[in-house]
């Protein structure tokens, strides 16, 4: 058996020294990042007068711009309604390219088959992404990709693009509307997804920017989220996306009593925290509990005559409703999770599109997440040190995404994790998470249906919540024991020595690695 030399980072994860050295990585130290001075990078721009960049042949664009070994990027704003990715990747595979690095903002299920095909054919040999799920996560977890995937948060991707750690050679960006010069947004057309937030990084920093669209309108198209001076080509395609699969068409309000109970408790936690006052700010997610939180929070705001200064993050219709109702003053919008939020961007001047750097970059002069009071985030697992896993399942297989989790947790004054104590036969609250994504030092409160656990470092919150009638405060160790009592102690998972993925912290340090699952 090969002997593996490891070094331990500050969340007590063993990192393989050979991989760390080969990839020139440093171990995670702290969520406090200080004040480094960062030399940013910039693209090489091929000059053109650029009135009409419309081309028919995507193949010609690829052939005249892509070389083996290059880095290509995509955005994931179309989610499972994406027709751009497979169209491009089909051609790249057909043309026989090798050793490409795939560096999208994230990957969605609809891309999985094509990526696996590209990996098997040697077309893609490196991937960096926010996450992956389904067959691709399974494939990578079973050692399908030669080199480790690098998982980066949305803020970390922005940071890495800005400082050159990710150098995008060609960005392929699908948009629902563009003019012939490349002025484009995500707000009009058939396949509307709203904010182009993540893709704005690619448009600014890639050497070559290729737009794909089914909707070319007369010049000038405004508002121009992507601007003509950033774009090399506009490729006309028959259909760029399936509007029905871009986001959930309508907002589901959960009827699951467990989710409703958690949402109510989250609302109690917020309302009784020192942050619930006029001008407070929050980020919620898109799950059933998160939507329910927004509803309860709305009532609390009305009852207490309190309005929020802003909401940020992946935006949903209920959040936009708060904006229109005057309960939220601004929506800072890096991504829209449903059609209602996407469509409202064109109507609401106060729904401000923000790019990934503005949203969450840890290495700039200030991101929106740093101004957050309350962030409500989810977890696949959380351990008794409050470390959170949103990346691997209880079987050790990759099935998640960092998203903005690390960023929002680091920035917010109070980060609340919502999670059921157990999911099926698996504990959510565990002695030690399979994969640390967000360090416990960034997490303040865990809300489960069995009670609320506050991070011991937040004695101020413990004091505040102790006085609240009906709010059950428990230690996280007790929650872990309750979970264990329900589902028992699982057999430890078995992994090989091989590292299949690196989970970076938002500053580029390594917070954990993911090993090949043995089965």
Q: Where along the sequence are the contacts to a copy of itself (CB under 8 A)? A: 33-51, 53, 162, 181-182, 209, 218-220, 222-224, 227-232, 279, 309-310, 330, 332, 349-350, 352, 354, 357-358, 361-368, 370-371, 411
CA dist., res. 286 & res. 409, Å (int): 16
CB of 357 to a copy of itself, least distance (A): 6
Q: Is the Cβ of residue 308 or residue 513 nearer to a copy of itself in the bound state?
A: 308
Element (H, E) at 112: helix 112-120
Question: What radius of gyration, in Å, describes the C-alpha atoms of the chain?
Answer: 22
Element (H, E) at 288: helix 288-304
CA dist., res. 153 & res. 28, Å (int): 14
CA dist., res. 11 & res. 509, Å (int): 12
CA dist., res. 144 & res. 152, Å (int): 20
CB of 273 to a copy of itself, least distance (A): 18
State in Å, rounded, how far the first CA of the chain is from the last one.
Answer: 18
**Entry field: residues in the chain:** 519
CB of 206 to a copy of itself, least distance (A): 11
CB of 373 to a copy of itself, least distance (A): 11
Q: Is the Cβ of residue 2 or residue 349 nearer to a copy of itself in the bound state?
A: 349
Burial class (CB in 10 A: 0-12, 13-18, 19+), 329: middle
Q: Is the Cβ of residue 16 or residue 313 nearer to a copy of itself in the bound state?
A: 313
CB of 450 to a copy of itself, least distance (A): 34
Q: Is the Cβ of residue 312 or residue 517 nearer to a copy of itself in the bound state?
A: 312
Taking Cα atoms as reference points, which of 142, 131, 118 lies closest to residue 500? 142
Q: Is the Cβ of residue 223 or residue 490 nearer to a copy of itself in the bound state?
A: 223
Element (H, E) at 213: strand 208-213
CA-CA-CA-CA torsion sign (196, 197, 203, 206): negative
Q: Is the Cβ of residue 241 or residue 411 nearer to a copy of itself in the bound state?
A: 411
CB of 60 to a copy of itself, least distance (A): 17
Element (H, E) at 127: strand 124-129
CA-CA-CA-CA torsion sign (508, 41, 223, 88): negative
CB of 230 to a copy of itself, least distance (A): 6
Q: Is the Cβ of residue 162 or residue 202 nearer to a copy of itself in the bound state?
A: 162
CB of 227 to a copy of itself, least distance (A): 5
Q: Is the Cβ of residue 193 or residue 310 nearer to a copy of itself in the bound state?
A: 310
Taking Cα atoms as reference points, which of 76, 111, 79, 132 lies closest to residue 400? 132
For residue 512, what are the contacts with CB-CB under 8 A and spacing of at least 6? 11, 13, 15, 435, 436, 437, 503
Q: Is the Cβ of residue 86 or residue 370 nearer to a copy of itself in the bound state?
A: 370
CB of 307 to a copy of itself, least distance (A): 11
């Amino acid at each position: 058996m090969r002997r593996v030399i490891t070094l331990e980072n500050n969340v007590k994860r063993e990192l393989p020294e050979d991989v760390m050295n080969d990839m020139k990585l440093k171990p995670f130290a702290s969520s406090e990042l200080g004040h480094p001075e960062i030399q940013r990078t910039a693209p090489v721009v091929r000059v053109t007068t650029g009135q009409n960049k419309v081309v028919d042949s995507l193949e010609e664009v690829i052939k005249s711009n892509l070389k083996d070994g290059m880095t290509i990027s995509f955005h994931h704003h179309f989610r499972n309604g994406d027709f751009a990715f497979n169209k491009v990747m089909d051609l790249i595979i057909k043309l026989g390219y090798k050793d490409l690095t795939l560096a999208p903002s994230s990957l969605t299920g609809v891309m999985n088959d094509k990526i696996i095909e590209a990996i098997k054919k040697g077309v893609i040999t490196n991937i960096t992404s926010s996450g992956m799920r389904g067959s691709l996560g399974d494939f990578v977890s079973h050692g399908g990709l030669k080199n480790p995937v690098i998982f980066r948060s949305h803020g970390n991707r922005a940071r890495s693009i800005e400082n050159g750690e990710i150098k995008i050679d060609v960005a392929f960006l699908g948009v629902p509307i563009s003019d012939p010069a490349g002025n484009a947004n995500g707000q009009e057309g058939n396949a509307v997804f709203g904010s182009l937030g993540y893709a704005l990084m690619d448009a600014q920093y890639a050497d070559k920017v290729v737009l794909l669209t089914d909707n070319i309108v007369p010049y000038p198209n405004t508002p121009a989220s992507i601007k003509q001076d950033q774009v090399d080509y506009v490729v006309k395609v028959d259909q760029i996306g399936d509007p029905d699969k871009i986001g959930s068409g309508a907002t589901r309000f959960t009827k699951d009593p467990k989710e409703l109970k958690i949402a109510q408790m989250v609302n109690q936690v917020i309302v009784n925290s020192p942050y619930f006052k006029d001008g407070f700010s929050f980020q919620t997610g898109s799950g059933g509990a998160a939507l329910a939180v927004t509803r309860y929070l709305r009532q609390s705001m009305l009852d207490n005559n309190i309005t929020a200064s802003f909401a940020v993050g992946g935006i949903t219709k209920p959040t936009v409703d708060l904006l229109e109702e005057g309960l939220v003053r601004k929506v800072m919008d890096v991504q829209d999770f449903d059609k209602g939020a996407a469509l409202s961007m064109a109507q609401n001047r106060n729904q401000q599109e923000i790019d990934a750097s503005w949203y969450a970059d840890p290495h700039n002069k200030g991101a929106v997440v740093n101004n957050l009071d309350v962030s409500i985030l989810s977890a696949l697992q959380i351990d008794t040190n409050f470390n959170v896993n949103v990346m691997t399942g209880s079987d050790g297989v990759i099935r998640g995404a960092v998203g903005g989790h690390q960023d929002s947790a680091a920035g917010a004054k109070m980060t609340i994790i919502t999670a059921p104590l157990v999911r099926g036969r698996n504990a959510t609250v565990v002695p030690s998470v399979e994969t640390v994504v967000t360090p416990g030092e960034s997490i303040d409160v865990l809300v489960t249906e069995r009670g609320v656990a506050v991070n011991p470092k937040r004695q101020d919150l413990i004091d505040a919540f102790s006085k609240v009638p009906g709010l059950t405060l428990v230690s996280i160790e007790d929650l872990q024991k309750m979970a264990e009592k329900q589902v028992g102690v699982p057999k430890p998972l078995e992994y090989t020595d091989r590292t299949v993925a690196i989970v970076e912290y938002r500053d580029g340090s390594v917070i954990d690695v993911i090993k090949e699952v043995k089965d």
